[in-house]
Amino acid sequence: MDTEKQLTGYPSIDKPWLKYYSEEAINTELPSGSAYDYLYEMNKSRHKAALEYYGNTITFKQLFKNIAAVERAFLAQGVCDGDIVTVLIPNMPEAVYIFYALSKIGAVSNMVDPRTSTEGIRDYVGETKSKIIVIIDVAISKVVNIRKQLPYVERIISVSPSESFPLALKILYRIGNRFQIIDDVMQWNVFLKAGETYEIDPITIRGVANKPVMIVHTGGTTGSPKGVVLSNLNINAIAFQSMRFPTDLQACHTWLDIMPPFIAYGIGTGLHFPLIVGMTVILIPKFDADKFDELLIKHKPNHISGVPSHWYTIINSKAMQKQTMSYLISAAVGGDTMDERLEENSNDFLKSHQCDYKITKGYGMTETNGSVCRTLNDNNPIGSVGVPFTHTVIAIFSQETGEELPYNEVGEICMYGPSVMLGYYNNVEETSRIKRFHNGHEWIHSGDLGYMTEDGNVYVLNRVKRIIIRYDGFKIFPSQIEKVLLSNDKIVSACVVGVNDLNHSQGKLPLAFVVKKDSADEHITEMELVNLCQKKVPEYAQPIDYVFKDNLPLTPIGKVDYRALEIEAETAYRL
């Protein structure tokens, strides 16, 4: 690409980020087959480890053999092209086999968090009318309790976390964890046995690029949860574009997978992408952020993906202080905005521990199957979430006029590209709200405010839905107040939400929830924060109160759950 051409001033036309990529990366065509097809074509000749699970190594040859066995088992149960199977399993080899087997058949994995309430599971299964449910055994009672409410469910299959344990560990696990065998629930080994003699029709329809392969569910922190329908192309495009990002990616590397498969970020970035490269993916079924340091010390991975809050654990870990981290090539964070102070401290920590790389930040949505942009190590300014991928376009649009904005102007972040979802499951109205056709393309409207620089770097400021609007129409951006609060080194984390203005019939005012260090004195810290905000926050945006908490509530993947804090605030400041 000619990097010297005259810029028009508009990102969607100039595409300044393409200067970071080779011509080959820009012009190579996207894969046209299913998620399974792409995995097989990239790794059919590899003889190395694909998965590692509690010390058990599963080679690529074994992986494809196990996927084929699960494929036959599903076909024996009557699963056909286009069917939706609800899967409630954490990071286990069986989750990997199931996803790719269903992709191979042309069926759809409805990925659900097994920690979901009984009522939530009933709603997710009911929405898709799944005939088959596959669920981890520790959660089986949830499905059994609602079995009579789900007449369309023909088969429930139970999977134990120990299915792929090494033999000795498997025996110990089953001695210490005995679950009741339920008559109308099929055990995993019986499920596989039933498929052993099934003969696959060679002309069976297979998954293709534009067909659905997966449904994942939004977290509900920005509204009601919705089922996001992703195609084979969507998931393949993440791996395809990530591979062409200027990063050291080799098949001999290892990837520590701590993100669950029931979120787009987890299955797209944490599983499919490293497997496509040919890396060994280390599966962690139950991630404990407080023990993140133990995982790094034990596995010494070359690559990891997580959320920003995980790095607070690392830089404050006593066990990590004398560790060398030269093995680490990319430490990717996404799913939430990384506080600038935490980013700086994390980068300093990595450098002081012999790591040659900085924190890799990214940005995306469930509706784009995770990342649409990422930072480079030599173009990684503090606060930026990186540059768009090769086949993805990001631009900033005015919410008032609908027109594209030039560089450095704040507006709504919008994007189009091959990873954009097909739509929300059975929800045309919500799909039309977020996917809109204009400027010659169908854009995803993120609901996030931000801007792009002339170098193609994207900055995210705030979610539109988090903006606090006062009675007089003034807009308050929580992230700007949070940034000021976190500049006080006695504060660990902060979240600002809007509460009802008790002096006016409409409008809200900011309330700050803060977590202080154990050594900080609450009274002194509160006064310091009041003074700090008076100096650095506009008068109209001053928090009306500061609520000190031991910790902030988190979503299942580690993001600050500001909706929970809004509910708490609404209770305390109700009109």
Output the domain CATH number for residue 480.
3.30.300.30
Question: Which domain covers residue 539, as residue numbers?
Answer: 469-572
Contact (CB, 8 A) for 231 and 250: no
Q: How many CB atoms lie within 10 A of CB 13?
A: 13
pLDDT at 470: 83
pLDDT at 221: 43
Tell whether 186 and 292 lie within a shared domain.
no
Beta bridge partners of 206: none
Helix (H, G, I), strand (E, B) or coil at 136: strand
Tell whether 67 and 187 lie within a shared domain.
yes
pLDDT at 256: 97
Tell whether 136 and 199 lie within a shared domain.
yes
Boundary of a domain, candidates 443, 462, 481: 462
Tell whether 125 and 179 lie within a shared domain.
yes
In a domain, residue 55? The reply is no
Give the phi and the psi of residue 309 in degrees, each rounded to 5. Answer: -60, -25
Tell whether 414 and 532 lie within a shared domain.
no
Residue type at 386 in one-letter notation? G
Tell whether 20 and 166 lie within a shared domain.
no
In a domain, residue 234? The reply is no
Gyration radius (Cα) of the chain, Å: 24
Tell whether 458 and 555 lie within a shared domain.
no
DSSP class of 481: H
Tell whether 514 and 379 lie within a shared domain.
no
Tell whether 436 and 345 lie within a shared domain.
yes
For residue 396, the domain's CATH number is 3.40.50.12780
In a domain, residue 183? The reply is yes
- How many domains in the chain? 3
pLDDT in tens, the chain (575 residues): 444 567 899 999 999 999 999 999 999 999 999 999 999 999 999 999 999 999 999 999 999 999 999 999 999 999 999 999 999 999 999 999 999 999 999 999 999 999 888 888 999 999 999 999 999 999 998 998 888 898 899 999 999 999 999 988 988 888 877 766 777 899 999 999 999 988 877 655 555 778 999 999 985 444 467 899 999 999 999 999 999 998 899 999 999 999 999 988 899 999 999 999 999 999 999 888 889 999 999 999 999 998 887 898 899 899 999 999 999 999 999 877 788 888 999 999 999 999 999 999 999 999 999 899 999 988 999 999 999 999 999 999 998 899 999 999 999 999 999 999 999 999 999 999 999 999 999 999 998 999 999 999 999 987 767 778 887 667 788 888 998 998 888 888 899 999 988 887 668 899 999 998 876 555 667 888 999 998 888 788 899 999 999 889 887 767 788 888 988 888 776 54
Tell whether 161 and 180 lie within a shared domain.
yes
For residue 166, the domain's CATH number is 3.40.50.980
Strands 508-516 and 546-548: parallel
User: For residues 421 and 368, what is the distance between their CA atoms, to the nearest angstrom?
Assistant: 6
pLDDT at 521: 59
Tell whether 456 and 337 lie within a shared domain.
yes
In a domain, residue 42? The reply is no
In a domain, residue 238? The reply is no
Strands 227-231 and 423-424: antiparallel
In a domain, residue 256? The reply is no
Boundary of a domain, candidates 438, 462, 486: 462
pLDDT at 325: 97
Tell whether 447 and 478 lie within a shared domain.
no
DSSP class of 331: E
In a domain, residue 293? The reply is yes
In a domain, residue 246? The reply is no
The H or E element containing residue 192 is helix 188-195
Boundary of a domain, candidates 413, 438, 462: 462
pLDDT at 58: 98
Helix (H, G, I), strand (E, B) or coil at 120: helix
Residue 142 makes CB contacts below 8 A (sequence gap 6+) with: 116, 117, 118, 121, 135
To the nearest 10°, the Cα dihedral for 30, 245, 272, 92? 180
